[in-house]
Amino acid sequence: MTFTQEQERKQEVFAQALAKLKETRQLSTDLLKPLAIPFENFLRFGQLSTKKQQKTMTSLIAHLEKCVGLPIAYDVENKMEIGSKVSVKTKHYGTKTGTVIEHASFGWIIKPDDHSRNIVAQEQDIKIIK
């Protein structure tokens, strides 16, 4: 698939997701990836009052309509998000595997598979496991 064909396919998926969002005015998890909305934002949206959700939804739709036709790069690389299975290079214990549980200003917080203490890591020390 050429770059142009790939962009056309991404634009088509984006347009379908935006049309569904405009029709239902409900933000669901199946729309997050096509619209490039982080899961954290989805969770924050769910905590808003109904009135603020409607106002935010109107703003979101207006913003996404302005993005129609722009190049889409979100499928080009794997994005790390909460729930991603990762491998982490630690300072003292070598490489550990775990699950991303939170993003903070100082790095990512990983719950290791083989230990009860969480790991705080910078993005350059983390690899996404497929």
Collapsed DSSP state (helix, strand, coil) of residue 54: helix
15 C-beta neighbours (distance < 10 Å), count = 14
Residues of the chain with CATH 2.30.30: 85-128
Residues of the chain with pLDDT under 70: 1, 73-78, 130
Tokens of 44: 């924050």
Give pLDDT, residue 1.
66
Q: CATH code for 85-128?
A: 2.30.30
Q: Which two tokens stand for residue 123?
A: 């993005």
State the DSSP string of 69-111: TS---TTTSPPP-TT-EEEEE-SSS-EEEEEEEEEETTEEEEE
pLDDT recorded at residue 77: 41
Q: pLDDT (tens digit, 9 = 90+) per residue, 72-108? A: 766 534 577 888 899 999 888 899 999 999 988 888 9
Confidence (pLDDT) at 130:
64
Rounded alpha-carbon distances, angstroms, from residue 2 to 6, 7, 65: 6, 9, 26
Where does residue 110 rank: exposed (0-12), middle (13-18), buried (19+ CB within 10 A)? Answer: buried
